[in-house]
Amino acid sequence: MATNTNLFADKETNNWIKASLALNVTKQGFTNFLDTELQNVHANVGKSCGNCPIEKLIPCPTKPHCSKRTRKYCPFHKSQRPQPCPTCDNVKQNIILQHRYGGPSWRNTRAEKWTHDYWEIGKCFLPPDGYSSVSSVQESDFNGVISIMLNCKHFQTCLSSTCLSPPPPNNQCPLEKVRQIGRDVRHTADCKVTDADLQDYFQTLSTLLADPICLQHDSFAMTACTRLRDLQNDRNSVQELGELLKESHQTLTHATEAGERISQEAKRTLSKAMQKLDAAIKCGEQRLKRETEVGEQRIESKTHIGEERIGSKTQHGEQLIENKARDAELCIERTVQNAIMRMNETSQIDYERGVADRFHRQPSSLDTPRPFNSECGISVVAAIYLHRQPMG
């Protein structure tokens, strides 16, 4: 059952809801691409020893990761003192080289997992705070996903040059513009988006998802493009809309927990949208139930009428057959009686003719005609009649 996203009376509020959902759909479209490319980055930065935590690999003090409040105490290095490890330092240097601004987000990553977990490398390219507990690309939000693509220089090789030209952090850079859409939607004061802005969002997000270098052939990105078109044209199912709303609401909740300044109005509006959709679903279910009940009653009464009709037609039919059978019996009986009578008459005439002949010729006892045995004629015709009678 298709539905539309117009849960609110205000058009621009509905536009904002669509924009929020579009961001989540777009993020999902990037997950497979990001997973694949981060595995390539992981392979390129080399193997670490697998024992060193990140605190050990960062000298103290290093801004902005650790800020020594007093000469003796650093909250970042409280459990682990810096200690050189050539193997891990090499990986660390390669990560720095891959970072567009040379400043990986060390606080997000667990360096002891660098050997086997490409996501721990990917986390170095996320915004500096709020992502340490995010355990996969899928769990990451729109802002995180776009930040990795902007901050990790490897993505220059798997996106069209137009996506990164002019290069970040220029606000005219198309990928920077995409990140800004996310910020505008999350930090909104009034949860309203104009028609023109919404069309521009859909256009920008779809263009990026259909980038010809890799994404055009990525099934996740292709699905996301379709879902964006559905969203734009109000073709989502109720279930899909419900899921999207829930995901968008969770995204905002996570972002708030991660310390991002999320508009309270945004969370309120998404909650309200979920409630409205729930109410619409319940109303639809009740209507369906009512319609089913009415349908069942109708079928039952029609069946009853049908049974009665069949019953009366059967009786009528039986009566007709009985009448016809009786008529047929009478007709046969009459025919048989007529035949017997005709036979008897014919025999009588023959007998009389025989007697007359005998008087004309010389009389002889051998010639005496025998009277016609009418009983014999009757039994023959009766046998035919019984044999042919089909009904009991």
- Residue 74 near Zn ion by CB under 5 A: yes
In the block, which residue shows the tokens 């559905």? 230
In the block, which residue shows the tokens 């964006």? 228
Phi, psi of 210 (to 5 degrees): -105, 20
Which range touches Zn ion (CB under 5 A), out of 61-69, 171-179, 291-299, 363-371? 61-69
Q: 358 vs 18, 349, 373, CA distance in Å?
A: 126, 15, 20
What residue number has its CB nearest to Zn ion? 66
Which range touches Zn ion (CB under 5 A), out of 57-65, 92-100, 227-235, 350-358? 57-65
For Zn ion, the closer of residues 53 and 354 by Cβ is 53
Q: Give the span between the Cα atoms of 132 and 120, in whole angstroms.
A: 9
Phi, psi of 152 (to 5 degrees): -95, 120
In this chain, which of 85, 281, 332, 340 binds Zn ion, going by CB under 5 A? 85
Tokens of 296: 């069942």
Which range touches Zn ion (CB under 5 A), out of 84-92, 141-149, 186-194, 378-386? 84-92
For Zn ion, the closer of residues 86 and 371 by Cβ is 86
Within 8 A by CB and 6+ apart from 292, the residues are none
CB of 161 to Zn ion, least distance (A): 37
Q: Give residues 22-51 in contact with Zn ion (rule: CB under 5 A).
A: 49
Strand partners, 2: 237
In this chain, which of 7, 17, 34, 88 binds Zn ion, going by CB under 5 A? 88
- Provide the 3-class DSSP secondary structure of residue 237: strand
Tokens of 108: 């997000």
For Zn ion, the closer of residues 77 and 123 by Cβ is 77
Closest CA to 202 of 25, 1, 12: 25
In this chain, which of 25, 41, 45, 66 binds Zn ion, going by CB under 5 A? 66
- Residue 91 near Zn ion by CB under 5 A: no
Q: How many residues bind Zn ion (CB under 5 A)?
A: 9
Q: Which positions lie near Zn ion, rule CB under 5 A?
A: 49, 52, 60, 66, 74, 76-77, 85, 88
